Amino acid sequence: MELLKNFIGGEWVESNTGETTESYNPATGEVVGLLTRSNETDVQKAVTVARAAYKTWRLTPAPVRGEILMKIGQALEKHKEELAQLLTREMGKVLAEARGDVQEAIDVAYYFAGEGRRLFGQTMPSELTNKACMTVRDPIGVVAAITAWNFPTAIPAWKMMPALIAGNTVIFKPASDGAVVATALVKVMIEAGVPAGVVNLILGPGNLVGDALVKNPGIDAITFTGSTETGTKMASKAALYNKRISLEMGGKNAIIVMDDADLELAVDGIIWSAYGTTGQRCTACSRVIVHRDVKEELLNKLVEKIKDLKLGNGLDSRVDMGPVINSKQLESIHQYVEIGKAEGARLLIGGEKATEGELAKGSFYKPTLFADVTPDMRIAQEEIFGPVLSVLTIESLAEAIEVNNNTKFGLSGSIYTQNINNVYTAMRDITTGILYVNAGTIGAEVHLPFGGTRGTGNGHREVGTAAIDFFTEWKSIYVDFSGTLQRAQIDNR
């Protein structure tokens, strides 16, 4: 099997450690790729070449940078199917979702290609005569993009495309469970004509490579997607070096179902939000907050739909739900199910590993539904990151909103209702970064900001024009052509 290497300064190079690691198909247990295992020395090599490339890349006109991003989008379209097939083999999501993952990367490349002609500043009047005022955006420098495995083409694109269009160079450190797809993504970017040193790939474990990136003085900014625990530790370390960091972390997203909701529509949205990608989304619905008057009807409909979900290898077009990422996560999910039962929640369906037939070869967990969950239970407060859904009962919209907001996360939320007053009240009072009305908790579009409140992040947003704010510095420029000394706030008073 070919050894997948780092990409540094336009060349594929093996780590100085000589060590390797393997990436496995979670549906079959087969090895998908053999990866070089990097360390701090490899990081320093990448930083050196990225800093050198930055000197030229930042001076490349933004519309020209945009043309390269346009070519990246075209190359991704060309390779969409092979990337999707590889994505399903490495992290398990069903093929239709894998194609959507790659399509999102395509959309992001095209969107930020256009921003090459729209990196707008502003011109403003001065309070003094014969003086002009303006603002422009400057790139930050070298950006470390540290990404998760659950969207192994979309999330890297969210980070790299706005960083590149703004004039930064990038060191891309993917999660080990998505590193084979990440390598393929970088190969496509090279095919599209990204100059040497502008994008660099470092493979290896987070506790070595990620930590080295945070500490390295040649890294100017860090953009991270992953667990809240890891992100919080990373932010603490970055603060010691006064580094800018963007965090996209956990979620405990809820769908509110009011007594006037279209229940068929709500059930479809809940099933897709809770069990799509096997619940392994930061935007996955893990809580349903339902009005008491429709609770039993909703539960019955959910159970019937869950019974019809087919588990299996995501390459099989008949499959609705693939495996979880690995055996460690499988055990973590099952532990939470046991916690839920111990807390007094009522298990309606699922609650166990799936080991029938071919499923025994992989890391499969049956779609699980709990009823009679209370807001203080751990399964209602902690992110499980798997196909486990908790149903909580409320008696009013005010109570629903209070329960919705009462977690340490604030990424995505949803409400199903036919009452316009309920809609606008929810829009005003639900404290999540994303809110859906009569739709599930997932399905972000690339021209809107993505991110959350509270423990989900640290105030920054990904994609949309808001992403460019993180990857640039504002520079205010004053041009005084009066020929005399003019003192603001003094001479015009």
> What is the CB neighbour count within 10 angstroms for residue 132?
13
Query: By the 8 A CB rule, do 179 and 23 touch?
Result: yes
Instruction: Report the number of secondary-structure helices (H) and strands (E) in the chain.
Output: 14, 22
The verdict on whether 90 is a catalytic residue reads no
DSSP code at position 309: P
Tokens of 471: 């990857």
Query: By the 8 A CB rule, do 184 and 64 touch?
Result: no
The verdict on whether 285 is a catalytic residue reads no
Which of 204, 214, 181, 206 has the alpha carbon at shortest distance from 18? 204
Beta strands in 355-411 (DSSP E): 368-371, 388-394, 409-410
The active-site residue, picked from 97, 115, 248, 383, is 248
Between CA 111 and CA 456 the distance in angstroms is 25
Between CA 222 and CA 199 the distance in angstroms is 14
The active-site residue, picked from 90, 97, 282, 285, is 282
Between CA 156 and CA 145 the distance in angstroms is 7
Which of 420, 403, 493, 471 has the alpha carbon at shortest distance from 246? 471
> What is the CB neighbour count within 10 angstroms for residue 429?
14
The distance of Cα 162 from the centroid of its chain, to the nearest Å, equals 14
Residue with tokens 């300064």: 9
Between CA 87 and CA 269 the distance in angstroms is 24
Tokens of 113: 């290609």
Q: List residues with catalytic annotation.
A: 248, 282
